[in-house]
Structure 1
Amino acid sequence: MSQLKQEITLTSGIAQLSTTLMGTGLFMIPAIAAGIAQTLSLWAWLFLFIAICPIALTFAQMGKHYPNAGGTAFFVRKAFNARMERAVAGLFISIIPVGVPAAVALAAGFLQQLLPAPLDTPVLCQVITVALLVLVNLAGAKSSGQLQTVIALAIFTLIVAFLWKGDIGAQDLTMPPLDSQSVWPIASALAVMFWCFVGIEAFAHMGEEFKNPQRDFPIAIIVGCFVAGVTYWFCSAVILKFGAYGTPKLDSTSIPWLSEKLFGEQISIIISLIGFSACFASINLYTQSLSRMIWSQAREYHPKSLMARLSVRGVPANATYLIGIVLVISCAFSQWSGLNLEFFLKLANSIFVLVYLLAMLSATKLLCGAQRVLAIIALVLCCGVFVCLGWSMLYALGVLSVMLLPWHKWRRHSQHAEPSNQES
């Protein structure tokens, strides 16, 4: 078997993207943004959604015209060359040791509240989370999509319950006035909030598995981004009304704090379960996309290797096992090193934004007409965000520079040199 199964429907595609975008972000970013910009964060969410639209629409068009498990790496190859493709593939894979463990740690934090002693240790909860990720991915894209549809419904139900129990009215949803003093707090909040729409590039790897990629993939991206944007906006309104922001503790526990305030302590287990499920859904898509990236590269350049094989369920099982092993090692290292979560998130964010930037650059060459104009606008926006990353963007540029070195040519040269040495 050398082709992935086309099992993803429009509904499951929307659920996968929306839960990925909301996953880890919903439980910390609205409170952090409110602490930075207060009520102006409502404007910041609106501006972010407007800014993300050109990027999302461009990814939608690229996935429609070029559905492939290689995602952005495949787009780059079509626009430039195979060397750039391998570099981008390596860039995306470099997220495994820095980005995914940070998200695993967040999910494990909720899992700790659900497990009894002695299973509730941070490292063991992270290992259990990784094991669950591997199992769900081995079940196939169809089963994974069904699970994430259930998780999406749970998240939406929670936010609706907040709006109802919190008695959110028109006065709570009124946008504050804007003036010249509003620019800086809104811009500062946007720099943090971009994390919430990281995930579109990972979804691009799933295009090959849609039943009807030309029709459903663009719709899934557009609707998924809209659903996530609306959910974030209403969640922020509730957080602002009840003042669930302003301290480091509230930044990471605003949702559990609101739940206890509105519904009582008896709902804490349900909130922990939803929190774990939401974070798990976000990591799940990345695990899927990374395994497909490894598999697509192996299929293209090493078709007889173990990584190029698919299971009977049409899943790149060996690539999934490899990611699981690397994640366990990375999680153990992060616990041992004592480096904080924010450090790993900044490194991962630089990789994500650079991947977005390269995808938009490819789109300016591959798309035509109005779609190309939209891609140019998206490219400019990505460049602006990348510059705002500060020191962390040097990490992404460093990784890309290493990946662009002619490793393939050097390896081929050494292979030719070995027989010559043996003859002499």
Structure 2
Amino acid sequence: MEHPGRSARTAGADDGPGAPGASGGLGAAQGTALLLGAVLGPGVLALPHLAAAAAGPASIVAWAALLALSVPVALSFAALGGRFPDGGGVATFAARAFGPRTAAVTGWWFYFAVPIGVPAGAMIGAEYVASALGLGAAGITAVACALLVAAFAANHAGLRVSGGTQLLLAALLAVLLVAAVAVALPSVRPGNFAPFAPHGWGGIAEAAGVLFFAFVGWEAASHLSAEFADPRRRLRRATVLTLAVVGVLYLGLAVTTVGVLGERAATSPVPLALLLEHGAGDLAGPVTAGAALLLSFGAINAYLAGGARLGAALARDGALPARLAAGAAPGEVPHRSLALLAVLCGAVTAAVAGLGMGLDPLLRVTSACLAAVTAVGMAAAARLLTGRGRRLAAVAAAFTVVLLVSCGPYLLAPVVTAAVGAAAGAAAVRGRRRRAGRGATSKASETSDASEAPDAPEASRASASPPA
């Protein structure tokens, strides 16, 4: 990575309270839609079931605790993005706080987690669609590929198109989930909440570990900070709105899933479909398929938007090949970075479909890398912010470290990536030093030539004159 000051200068980070990002960039509505897409993913279709299986009705406590603890994480990222808006996102924050090598490693964690997590998310959504519509294995692969192609096309068209599409889909998704909760609420039975904690505090902790997959995404939005028309105000506003929407939807789904389904909440892998049956009847299957498509596309779209801009910023700052730097400026489209992500996503999708790979390892590897990114981001916030922002970041840092440890053996993924990223960052630093050295030598040579230049004509005349 380049010296941390470079990213700040490029982004115009400290130009005052209203430091602008891209001219005519994202507003609060489009920003909220993109953040919702990053946080609300296809996992919400299955996570209520997994949490209920781990903790019973007390899974609601795990949902509430993670929502409360995600507040300082989200607000810390919003504060950093507003103060240092740049496509490098967490890598830019890490550069300012800890230097270029940490920034390179952090950027690699996120960038190379995208082509692992995005195909997995597409396959999850495709499996729900296939289940609802009676499609086979070939149908699952076709739906997953269609989701990926649509998301890459939207991002190549630019954030104006991508953000507008996301706004429409987020509105439809919110209406759908609110409707699912509303039609199910009259069927809530108090008896379904007893016994409340059949597996004790251990079950609640296990549920929290499972539910962590529903709360990643704030780090993805940090890469879009420079695309906001007014990052300090509009990014924070979008973050607060997203927290409110996510809180209502998650807690509503958690309460209704347990209160309506009772023991079935812990045994059915499609709790949302069961909830929709109370109001939609035979239409529950197609509606669930629609929800899966919306959730999957939203998450894929948001992560590709953030990852592509991060890749261009990393290339700009020397941590990736320089050819990928095109489109690093706010408002531009990083076509080359997107193309590399498309190739990597295609390779992972082909491996999953052709080799019959399970999705669980892909999701856990992705989560381990993103947890590492979040931990570094919160540590950077604790160092860069002041006052209440620093205190919030300290709480968030402690929270993310605990979650990072809970990743267990999958921590090997960010460790290996860190080793490769550190080597690449060191090579980039050595390359810049060599170029700087050659530049200094060249300037010294030019200075020496210039100092000898006045004597040259005299020597030429002397050699050209005939002897006396």
Pairwise same-fold verdict (TM > 0.5): yes
Q: Is the 8 A contact 1:350 1:389 kept in 2?
A: yes
- 2:333 partner SS: coil
Give 1:246's aligned amino acid: A
Structure 1 stretches lacking a partner, 5+ long: 417-424
CA change 1:258–1:309 in 2 (3 A) is: same
Q: Does structure 1 residue 321 correspond to structure 2 residue 345?
A: no
In the alignment, which of 380, 383, 386 is matched to residue 368 of structure 1?
Answer: 386
Q: Does structure 1 residue 246 correspond to structure 2 residue 266?
A: yes
Q: Is the 8 A contact 1:96 1:326 kept in 2?
A: no
Q: Is the 8 A contact 1:19 1:148 kept in 2?
A: yes
Q: Is the 8 A contact 1:76 1:362 kept in 2?
A: yes
Q: Is the 8 A contact 1:69 1:206 kept in 2?
A: yes
Cα distance per residue 1:71-123 (max 9 Å; x no partner) = 00000111121222122111111203422221121122245468898995333
Deviation at 1:278, TM superposition (A): 1.4
Q: Does structure 1 residue 41 correspond to structure 2 residue 41?
A: no
In the alignment, which of 275, 280, 283 is matched to residue 292 of structure 2?
Answer: 275
**Pairwise mapping of residues 69-88 of structure 1 onto structure 2 (< 5 A)?**
69-88=87-106
In the alignment, which of 27, 33, 50 is matched to residue 15 of structure 1?
Answer: 33
Q: Does structure 1 residue 96 correspond to structure 2 residue 119?
A: no
- 1:375 partner SS: helix
Q: Does structure 1 residue 132 correspond to structure 2 residue 150?
A: yes
Q: Does structure 1 residue 294 correspond to structure 2 residue 294?
A: no
Cα distance per residue 1:301-345 (max 9 Å; x no partner) = 399954222399731122212211211111111223333111111
Structure 2 stretches lacking a partner, 5+ long: 1-10, 12-20, 437-468
Give 2:261's aligned amino acid: F
Give 1:168's aligned amino acid: P
Task: Please report the TM-score for the alignment, with normalisation by the length of structure 2.
Answer: 0.80
Greater mean deviation of Cα atoms: 367-376 or 311-320: 311-320
Task: Please report the TM-score for the alignment, with normalisation by the length of structure 1.
Answer: 0.88
Q: Is the 8 A contact 1:113 1:120 kept in 2?
A: no
CA change 1:179–1:309 in 2 (3 A) is: closer
Cα distance per residue 1:228-263 (max 9 Å; x no partner) = 12201111222111244323xx22x22223323542
In the alignment, which of 346, 362, 379 is matched to residue 344 of structure 1?
Answer: 362
Give 2:427's aligned amino acid: W
**Pairwise mapping of residues 154-193 of structure 1 onto structure 2 (< 5 A)?**
154-168=172-186, 182-193=200-211
Greater mean deviation of Cα atoms: 372-381 or 202-211: 372-381
In the alignment, which of 264, 269, 272 is matched to residue 281 of structure 2?
Answer: 264
Q: Is the 8 A contact 1:42 1:175 kept in 2?
A: no
Q: Does structure 1 residue 208 correspond to structure 2 residue 214?
A: no
CA change 1:55–1:87 in 2 (3 A) is: same
Q: Is the 8 A contact 2:56 2:198 kept in 1?
A: no
Cα distance per residue 1:187-206 (max 9 Å; x no partner) = 11000111111000000001
RMSD value over aligned CA atoms? 3.2
Query: Partner residue of 1:419?
Result: none
Greater mean deviation of Cα atoms: 300-309 or 343-352: 300-309
Q: Is the 8 A contact 1:6 1:208 kept in 2?
A: no
Identity fraction in percent: 25
CA distance in 2, matches of 1:303, 1:331: 23
CA distance in 2, matches of 1:381, 1:233: 20
CA distance in 2, matches of 1:170, 1:268: 21
CA change 1:139–1:48 in 2 (3 A) is: same
Cα distance per residue 1:238-295 (max 9 Å; x no partner) = 2111244323xx22x2222332354222343233122111111011100001100111
Residues paired across the two proteins, number: 414
Query: Partner residue of 2:140?
Result: 122
CA change 1:336–1:174 in 2 (3 A) is: closer
CA distance in 1, matches of 2:208, 2:319: 42
Query: Partner residue of 1:357?
Result: 375
CA distance in 2, matches of 1:10, 1:60: 12
Deviation at 1:374, TM superposition (A): 1.6
Q: Is the 8 A contact 1:19 1:152 kept in 2?
A: yes
Q: Does structure 1 residue 146 correspond to structure 2 residue 132?
A: no
CA change 1:315–1:43 in 2 (3 A) is: same
CA distance in 2, matches of 1:169, 1:245: 14
CA change 1:327–1:78 in 2 (3 A) is: same
CA distance in 2, matches of 1:396, 1:116: 38
Deviation at 1:174, TM superposition (A): 10
Give 1:213's aligned amino acid: P
CA distance in 2, matches of 1:205, 1:172: 44
Relative contact order, higher structure (CA 8 A, sep 6+)? 1
Query: Partner residue of 1:422?
Result: none
CA change 1:413–1:61 in 2 (3 A) is: closer
CA distance in 1, matches of 2:196, 2:281: 37
CA change 1:99–1:368 in 2 (3 A) is: same
CA distance in 2, matches of 1:414, 1:299: 18
Query: Partner residue of 1:285?
Result: 302
CA change 1:214–1:175 in 2 (3 A) is: farther
Query: Partner residue of 1:224?
Result: 242
Query: Partner residue of 1:421?
Result: none
Cα distance per residue 1:197-238 (max 9 Å; x no partner) = 100000000110111111011121122122112201111222
Higher-Rg structure is 2
CA distance in 2, matches of 1:332, 1:171: 45
In the alignment, which of 186, 192, 198 is matched to residue 216 of structure 2?
Answer: 198
CA distance in 2, matches of 1:160, 1:134: 29
- 1:7 partner SS: coil
